[in-house]
Structure 1
Amino acid sequence: MASNPTCKSLQKQVTDLQNRIKELSWKPSVENEVKRPPSNEKNVVYVQKDRKVPKFTGYNFQVEDWIEDVNTVLHAREMSRQERADFIYLQLEGSAKDEVKYRSHLVRQSPDQILEILQDAFGVKDNITKLQKNFSDRVQKPNESLREYSYVLMDLMSKITNKDSTWMPNKEKTLCDQFSQNVQDSYLRKHLKQIVRAQSHIPFLDLREEAIMWSEEEEYKDKRYNTKTKSETTDTVPEEPTTDVCASKDKTDSSSEQSDKFNQLLGIVQKQSEQIETLTKIVNTKQQPTSYNSRYNRFEPQRRTLLCFRCNEPGHKIADCPVVNSKKSGNG
């Protein structure tokens, strides 16, 4: 009778089926790409002519973003100068419309002048010096990603160039320098500075992508190291029950193995406790103070018991032997 499949074998079968499904779904697209004849046409981005521009009141959007959307739509449509001016005016409401409404007729006929009026009225109020300081002082914040930081720098750069396009002749180089010198990670900072020195004309977006790739690689290395360290520290610890779908079945299979491991660990702990107790006794014995008499008793000469070589009795010498004395008295 065939044995019941284990959880691991079922998971392996599911993974194999998923990989097979991916291969089958990917194969037709590859065949279509192969059969498709090569084309020399350039990629062109088309903008719908009926694309709508949101109404601008002066405060509901940033005027720079709204003007950019308007210019995109105007470039996609074939319109006369007067038609473009009327189109812009129709997209205005509230304060923005009033700002243009009371201008001269000549101004209202010029689309460029209308956009310039809106920029001056609702754009950034900071002067060029303050914008430059905001740009040069901007560093990456602790919880800010590299992409978010790059967007902030590009936005500040756009505000500066809108105020004065001649202030920054090499915009890409300035962005690269500011980005590479003010990212939070010191190792990444050093890496980016080396790239900027070696490639002085590198585009800012290329430098940013290099920074993101480097950061992701370092994060992956840290995760691998932490996983490896965790597995090494938990090798001698009984495995905790998992929350897998097949946990209830695997629990009965591994209960005996966990019990054996627990008994082994218990034996090791008991042996270590005995060793610690023995060592503690030895140390305490060596650290006990010795008395003066016990230190010097071993150097005191031992008293020998007198032994008579005549009668072999202890306690006297031959001269004091009672046997000899009795004989002398008998002879006298």
Structure 2
Amino acid sequence: MPAPSNSHKRPQDPFFKTDDDGMEILHFLQNLQYLFFLDEIEEDSRKIKELIRRARDSTSVSWCYALLNKNSNLEELTFEEVLKSFQAAHISHKPQWKLWAEFLELKQQGTIVEYTDAFTRKTLGFSPDTPIPDHILLWQYIAGLKEPFRQRVLSVDPLNLSTAQKAALGEAWILEQQQIEEATTAFRRNYSTSTGPNHDKLMQRRVTKTVKNRRHPTSKLLCFNCNRPGHYIRECPIRSQ
């Protein structure tokens, strides 16, 4: 994955405050998610260890001890499980916390348009008093993208949330047009293959002429003398006997 732009300053190590009211915890997780993206940390075990290492307040220490006592092997846990446990131990009753948890879990499931709309709705739910920093919004949006949209967005310069969303939507439009063109080409190829042999067989049938020079397959003819198909009455073998 290409290195992020140097125009975005790397956040300092975020630590909890013992007397926090929950907002510091939200900022802590925002920066933690940003660090995961910058350092390309994808393994759950590394994310869990990073979360535990940076948890510093009294509530978090108690939570860490409880987590480690209950689970001797962190390799068996997923980061999602640990994050939910962390939420339950802290301020999970606060609406802002629930909104942030949903924001973290937001990933592209369907189209780019659907993902971008869902992302925008989630960000609008945050209080103006506790806005999400611009660099967090940007990297959270990129982290939720599927390939090849993510790589396309990372190549944009300048890179901000607006240009990232425009690049992703533009790439989605290009891929859609390519799929339509490929489907059309495949349909034409299949149509040509399926109709060609049938057309040849039809032309190879024995035909006869009427006074109007129309061409008819002999299988459609019916003799009025013997009531058998395949010939005119003047060609009837019974009549000539």
By the TM > 0.5 criterion, same fold?
Answer: no
Which structure is higher in RCO with an 8 Å CA cutoff and minimum separation 6?
2
Which has more helix, going by share of residues? 1
TM-score (norm 1): 0.29
TM-score (norm 2): 0.39
